[in-house]
A and B are shown apart, each in its own frame.
Chain A
Amino acid sequence: MSRFSRWVVAALFLLSIHCAEAAQDVADEVRVKAAVIYNLLLFVDWPGDVPTGDFRLCLIEGGALAVALQDFAGKPIHGRRFVPHPIGGGADELQSCFAVMVEAGNPVALARAGATARNRPLLVIGEGTGATDRGAMVSLAAQGSRMVFDVDLGALRRAHLGASSKLLRLARRVVE
């Protein structure tokens, strides 16, 4: 039995290697995620009474995503300069952000960002299953080998943010 199961495992492993080699060209997940986030922001509209200066996308904790987003730093967005800005997660720090990206595994930070967005136009982007339940307006996920995103239109409206029809069309799911 032991020997048999060992062979089964080895066969499965070889099969998965074979499948991997047959797979198509792939791109680094973090880079694609960074690009998706930057592009998403182009399809969201902020009201007039927002902070002046750079367009700040705040990130809870720096990490691989913060590094990947640096490729977009300085690019134009809504007539401003795009600046990815890692923060520690404090409520004060969120005041200067246009949008905040909370990576998976930090539900408390997500809830806090969601609460901030009840008083001012802050786009909250989350990740993984259940992110829209915890305060995210846009939630990124991997489905199969591709990136998808869900939009909570009701939460966007409550934060006085607008979503373009293209954003809603590309979303996997739109909840009101």
Chain B
Amino acid sequence: MFGIPRLLGGLVLVLAVGSAWSAEDVSRLSLEDLLKVDVAGASGYEQPLSETPSTATVITADDARRFGFRDIGEALQMARGVYISRDRTYSSLGVRGFGRPGDYNSRVLLLQDGGRANDPVYDQAMVGNESPLEMEWIKRLEFVPGPSSALYGGNALFGIANAVLWSGGDLNGTRVSLEAGSGRMARASILGGRVESNGLDWVGGLSVYQRRGDDLYFREFDVPATSNGIAHHLDGERYVKGLLKASWENWRGSVSFSTRVKNVPTAYFGTAFDVPGNFARDQSFHVDIAHRQSLSATWDQQLRLHVGHYAYDAEYPGTAAVNRDETRADWWSAEYQLRYSGWRDHAWLFGAEVRRQPRLEQRNFDISPRSDILDDKRKGGGMGVFVQDEWRLAPRWLANLGVRVDSQLSQPTMTSPRGALIYRPTEATTLKLLYGKAFRPPNAYERFYGGGGQKANPNLKPERISTRELALDVTPSSSLRFGLGRYSYTLHDLIDQEIDPADGLMVFRNQTGKVEARGWEAEVEVMLAGGWRLRANSNWQHISQPGSEPSNSPRRVSKFYLDGSPAAGWTLGLSVQGLSSRRTLVASVPGYVTGNLVLRQIENSRFGAWNVGIYNLAGKRYWDPAGQEHVQDALQSDGRQVRVGWEIGFR
């Protein structure tokens, strides 16, 4: 009846504004007319993972600042069951009691704005300084534990970490920050963005970091021939990272690069101790373009293209010659997603992804005299199709069902289902029952790398996991929330490094027998008087595997985070992590408790704002289990570290 006047009104408005709606036009429309405006924006690309059926943890930029998280790994430790191990070259995540020493972190998938960020040679989710992403660029970091291969394909065994980067509209200005700290560390960064009057939203960031590092003592080398166990000036590190991200109407794109060089003091892979020139360099370059579009009121599509380059260079000074590793990878991927919301009580998602790696090269040689040990050139590729339905069975019941099928070059086809049932008996209570399967195909490094005491095994097959979980979440009042979960998982055909007794060489093999784990997790969040907030979580788990006890697998992992404002204009964040003892490859390392304290001035001063962080507050001596490539059975972590920072914002 009033269809025609409304139509005319809409038409007049469209004619009046010309090509696009301005802010003033939009602000004058009625609710009815607003609901008829065609919108374009970037948020449709970010399907928040925390809305998926899981016990997700969201770490906000505010958390990262208050607790002074220095890298993604440190931030992810906030999630229940997550712990981090470092070997002075790379950082690796352990989740729910599983974290193989020397593992290149290939069982967790790192996403940048929903797109895969693991490299294709080592499948490594880089979460330390080596990461292509800078903590400061991240608006929100979501950690979803459990299998997610049903949507993302390989490597999403123990969880996915999605870094949602800032948009220009979020920043609306520029921030410069400078930091200095222990080990002669210095860092400088600039991050800015805005929305231009034509609607272009852009963000740019650049960070540089350098740390000279301290002399380190290794008991295993404590003889006069190897400097009495002291590695002099060999713990240095440098990185440069840059980002440019833009969105305009239905388009979004980003370009990022990073280079990180780490000196290696541990004399791994049989290299000479206390000899300079032992380094590892990781470089990556990513281009991502996405376009989203509505086909009708109920169909939406999105196409995403990604091009990546990764290079790894390392030199291993031996007693006779210097050996060198060179890894080069180029890849591209295309993903198409189609969403359908026309069927009442259902939300469907269909997708297909093609990934190609035209260049996967691994080289190893002695530099002088030149002697080639490995020159492996491969191509790789695969594709996957997936479907998911979110189905409201009844007002208090929600089901989420999905499956993905992946086919990969010279690997079996894998099917990964996931199902969740969510029941909300009362306003305050949510109960979730989750089941899922995930897999990880063996990567090029595990299959084809030979040299440096290691040999290839092209016949590896994928490892698989199936996970079951029951989770309860209760919010009895606005100041209290707690969660309790029970989980179990089974791993088949685990790809693990071992030493072949026939020739003494390290080799990756699918382990016979299955690894079974069971655990409990508990979480509590309390809002205290005066705006203070306390968050704590704890995991208890038991893993059984045939033959031996699992290494780097703590029975208990506990975390505690307290933050608030001790005085007007300042925030304080205290974080404490505790791990029980862990088996190493030979013996064990004791459990430990360590804490960080960060005091930060709130911005908006004309003279900038100061912050100071003390890491490993009590100077606790603790060790992480080391991988096969090390002589050391365990590696000691840094003692007390202090950082002082200053930053200033401009509009």
* Chain A residues close to B by CB (< 8 Å): 2, 5-6, 9, 12-13, 16-17, 19-20, 23-36, 38-40, 42-43, 61-64, 67-68, 71-72, 88, 90-94, 104-108, 111-116, 118-119, 128-130, 133-135, 142-148, 155, 158, 166, 170, 175-176
Contact = CB atoms under 8 A, between A and B. Distances in A.
Contact of B60 (A61, A104, A114, A147): A61
Contact of B39 (A6, A28, A128): A28
Nearest to A2: B356
A163 B46 CA distance: 30
Contact of A147 (B18, B35, B58, B142): B35
A92 B533 CA distance: 11
A88 B29 CA distance: 31
A112 B291 contact: no
A157 to B, nearest CB: 12
Contacts of A94: 478
A119 B294 CA distance: 40
Interface residues of B, number: 92
Interface SS majority for chain B: mixed
A71 B27 contact: yes
Contact of A2 (B43, B49, B381): B381
A64 B169 contact: yes
4 closest Cβ contacts across the A-B interface? A29-B41, A64-B169, A27-B21, A105-B48
Interface string B53-94: 000101011100000000000000000000000000000000
Contact of B58 (A19, A108, A166): A108
Contacts of B25: 27
Contacts of A88: 62, 531
Nearest to A31: B26
A35 B26 contact: yes
A108 B61 CA distance: 15
Interface of B: 14, 17-21, 23-27, 29-32, 34-44, 46, 48-51, 56, 58, 60-62, 139-140, 142, 164, 167-170, 172, 195, 199, 201, 249-251, 291, 293-301, 303, 305, 334, 336, 341, 347, 354, 356, 358, 381, 383, 390, 395, 398, 422, 424, 427-428, 430, 473, 475-479, 481, 525, 527, 530-531, 533
Contacts of B533: 90
A36 B199 CA distance: 19
A145 B170 contact: no
Contacts of A128: 48, 51
A142 B395 contact: no
Nearest to B250: A20
Contact of B305 (A9, A29, A38, A107): A9
A91 B44 contact: no
A48 to B, nearest CB: 22
Contacts of B167: 63-64
A13 B39 contact: no
Contacts of B398: 130, 133
Q: Name the residue among B24, B291, B298 with the largest chain A CB count within 10 angstroms.
A: B291
A58 to B, nearest CB: 13
A150 B49 CA distance: 21
Nearest to A133: B424
B38 to A, nearest CB: 4
Given A67-B172, A71-B27, A130-B51, A24 B38 contact: yes
A144 B297 contact: yes
Q: Name the residue among B21, B31, B295, B298 with the largest chain A CB count within 10 angstroms.
A: B31
A72 B23 CA distance: 10
Contacts of B527: 90-92, 112
Nearest to B526: A91
Given A16-B301, A105-B46, A115-B478, A26 B21 contact: yes
A88 B36 CA distance: 33
B19 A25 contact: yes
Contacts of A16: 291, 293, 301, 303
Q: Name the residue among B41, B305, B356 with the largest chain A CB count within 10 angstroms.
A: B41
A78 B35 CA distance: 22
Contacts of B60: 61, 106
A25 B170 contact: no
Contact of B50 (A30, A106, A112): A106
A26 B20 contact: yes
A27 B24 CA distance: 11
Given A9-B334, A145-B293, 6 more contacts: A2-B358, A13-B291, A20-B293, A63-B170, A64-B169, A118-B478
A31 B23 contact: yes
A99 to B, nearest CB: 15
Q: Name the residue among A38, A94, A133 with the largest chain B CB count within 10 angstroms.
A: A133
18 contacts: A5-B334, A9-B334, A12-B336, A20-B249, A23-B38, A23-B293, A26-B249, A32-B34, A61-B60, A63-B167, A68-B169, A105-B58, A111-B475, A112-B475, A129-B390, A135-B427, A144-B298, A145-B38
A125 B358 CA distance: 47
A92 B527 CA distance: 8
A146 B291 contact: no
Contact of B23 (A13, A71, A108, A112): A71
A93 B41 CA distance: 30
